[in-house]
Each structure stands twice: as structure tokens, then as C-alpha cells.
Amino acid sequence: MLVMDEVNEPNDPVQQTDALAVPADAAPPIDSRFLFVGVAALRAKQLRRGARVRFDCGTEANAPHKPERMAMEEVRRGLVFYDIPDQEAASAGADA
């Protein structure tokens, strides 16, 4: 599993819905809680290393402060893009 982290923030328009900023091309929602945890853990690692937060947490009263909570909020909002490798490619690499 690979979490895509872009250096520049996307220039796409942002839609405001119920005080949540959702980009127009948001990532598809994650249905598996195991995938959610994996993506959020990798994003939290990026945040701990100095990556910028992808939502404005200064305007919210109860905004999270820990990198793990910020990462979970970003994943929940669809702001973290991820890539799941193919099973065939992974098994072929293990056999070699």
C-alpha cells in the first residue's frame, strides 16, 4: 500500500459542505476498516516527518492536534490518495 503525498497542494476547487472541505476529485471512500487504518498510519508517519495538513484545522473548535487523529480525519474526508498494488505483481515478486 502506497500513500501518495504531493509536495504542492492540489489547485482543484474545494466545495464547502457542512463545514467539511471536500475537494472536487476526492479519493473514493474506504469501506474496509483495515485499509483505513493502514492508509491513516502511513499518512500519520508523513505528518510526523513534517508534511502539511490538508485541511484547515484552525477554524474548527475541536480540531485534532495529534498527527494520528489528523491523518484519520484527512482519510475520512477523502484528502489522502492511496494506491493498492496488484496481487499478481506482489506474488510474482515474492516467487523470484
Cell triple for residue 94? 515474492
**More confident call, 30 vs 21:** 30
Does this model's pTM top 0.85? My answer is no
Contact call for residues 79 and 55 (beta carbons, < 8 A): yes
Q: What is the pLDDT of residues 50-94, one digit of tens each?
A: 999 888 876 666 777 889 999 999 999 899 998 888 877 767 776
CA geometry: angle 34, 48, 41, nearest 5 deg: 5
Distance between CA atoms of 87 and 96, rounded to whole angstroms?
15
pLDDT of residue 43: 95
